[in-house]
Copies of this chain bind each other. A is one copy, B any other.
Amino acid sequence: MLESLKEQFSAHVKNLQNQISQRMKDLDVQIDINEDNWSRLDHIGEDGGGGITRAFEGNIFENAGVNTSEIKGKINPEFAKKLQGDSDQLWATGISLIIHPFNPKIPTVHMNFRMINQGDKVWFGGGADLTPFYPYEEDFSYFHGVWKKACKPYGNYDHMKKTCDEYFVNAHRNNEMRGIGGIFFDHLNTGDLKKDFDMVVDLSNHFIESYFPIVENRMQEDFGQEDVDFQLHRRGRYVEFNLLHDRGTLFGLKTNGRTDSILISLPKRVMYSYKYAPEKGSVYEKMMENYFPKSW
């Protein structure tokens, strides 16, 4: 059954990648899409799988990456020990996505779902989290609401929400979160492979519903220079999280992953400033309160 589920997961993530790409094209008609089919060698120089990276640059979606990959083959034995299994044979397939919209009223979003098989161990990981720049709290409740609904049959929203709140944190910035969270899980293996598989596929199928209605609702909003300044400042915090703390990014770069596919997660324009503080009483000051764990 394992081999069949692996094939199904590969097919599922590619299908999801196409659905999401189509939805982006429908909204941002003139968007540029740069697709790269890349392949890799494994630790001993044999076929190690590869991936499909799709880089988007448009008017609504300033830059985005919607990627799938299927890694297989022998991995470095020292690195193998740091994973769950004790085999140096690894198979890992997943979809990962990051969307940085141009308009600061539309939130940035990240999503990733993956299935991993090392020797006789199999596990799943993933989640989705939102990084908004404007205090439209109804959007945050909507996003969390979709994930709450998605998780309902499995009774795991509270746990996955808390894990997400604890993961996407800039410890060096007074424990501010990079955004307003969502859900996150790792090393998922309940012992019932088919059940885990079905759940992860089901969750991942809620991504489109969780995000694109927010985009459609906000894409016509006006914005000013102050909104852009706050967005670019928060994008700076996003870069800090990804390069200093994100395990996925460091994992990828340290295992000779394809750098351009990994760092596609970085936003096009970013701004840093010394001792940034939002103006007292401004919407940005209000927004800052949302970057700490909260119930939506």
Contacts and interface: CB of A to CB of B under 8 A. Distances in A.
A271 interface: yes
Interface in A250-296: 250, 253, 259-260, 263-264, 266-275
A272 B244 CA distance: 17
Contacts of A243: 239-240, 243-244
Nearest to A274: B55
Contact of A63 (B240, B266, B274): B274
Interface string A15-43: 00000000000000000001010000000
Given A253-B172, A270-B270, A260 B240 contact: no
User: Copies of this chain, how many?
Assistant: 2
B270 A272 contact: yes
Contacts of A274: 34, 55, 57, 63, 65, 260, 264
Contacts of A253: 172, 244
Given A240-B243, A244-B253, A172 B259 contact: yes
A240 B253 CA distance: 12
A173 interface: yes
A212 to B, nearest CB: 22
A173 B266 CA distance: 15
A236 interface: yes
Nearest to A232: B269
A267 B275 contact: no
Interface in A53-85: 55, 57, 63, 65
A56 to B, nearest CB: 9
Given A239-B239, A243-B244, A244-B243, A275 B172 contact: no
Contacts of A259: 172-173
A271 B271 contact: no
A51 to B, nearest CB: 14
A250 B55 CA distance: 30
A267 B272 contact: yes
A271 B272 contact: no
A268 B263 contact: no
B275 A34 contact: yes
A65 B273 CA distance: 11
Given A239-B239, A243-B244, A268 B260 contact: no
24 contacts: A34-B274, A34-B275, A55-B274, A63-B272, A63-B274, A173-B259, A236-B266, A236-B270, A239-B243, A239-B270, A240-B243, A240-B263, A243-B243, A244-B253, A260-B274, A260-B275, A264-B274, A267-B272, A268-B271, A268-B272, A268-B273, A269-B271, A270-B271, A270-B272
Top 3 A-B pairs ranked by shortest CB distance? A243-B243, A55-B274, A266-B272
